[in-house]
Amino acid sequence: MIRNLFFIFAISLLCGCSTHEPISFKPVLGVDIELGSSFDTLDFADNEVLIYKKNKLLGSIKRVQNTDGSLTSIQALRNGFKEAEKGTNKPEPLNVKDGCFGFVVHTDNFSTIFIASEKEPSSWSEISVRKSDYSSVVSSLK
């Protein structure tokens, strides 16, 4: 009897651990991303959320205010894309849903996604994740 109870408890525990659901973040109106990696700490620093696991930085999500009132956030990001093309780490446009514009810049260890939405013309988001997590994060963009 005790053996059966232990077996049921162990199976329940394993099933509970294996069903880790991704956490959804909404960095700007009209944009959702999922972070599939588990984390144990969120550090809120001004307008940025730093994501850690066991004191190791997994990534960050930051909102950036559009300071040029004559441009929408999408127009400002398009200009930023052109400027980033002049740098050493070349940007790549992202295939995002209608009403959004985004691009990514890869460095040695991290990938930073810049994304804006028509639904939020006054700000855009910078989402920086470890390169190993990039493909799952970018595929979750909704």
Q: What tens digit of pLDDT does each residue of 108-125 get?
A: 999 999 999 999 999 999
In this prediction, residue 12 carries a pLDDT of 42
Question: For residue 20, what pLDDT is reported?
Answer: 62
pLDDT of residue 61: 94
DSSP letter at 98? T
pLDDT digits (tens, 9 = 90+) for 32-67: 888 767 788 899 988 899 999 899 998 999 999 988
Q: DSSP for 25-47?
A: EEEETTEEEEE-S--SEEEEETT
Largest CA distance in the chain: 73
Evaluate whether 137 touches 34 at the Cβ level (below 8 Å): yes
- Encoded tokens for 132: 């190993």
Average pLDDT, the chain: 83
User: What mean pLDDT is predicted for residues 58-82?
Assistant: 92
Positions of E strands within 2-138: 23-28, 31-35, 41-45, 48-53, 56-65, 91-93, 100-106, 110-117, 120-130
Note the pLDDT of residue 122. 92
C-beta separation of 111 from 128 below 8 A: yes
Residue corresponding to tokens 């127009």: 75
pLDDT of 5 reads 33
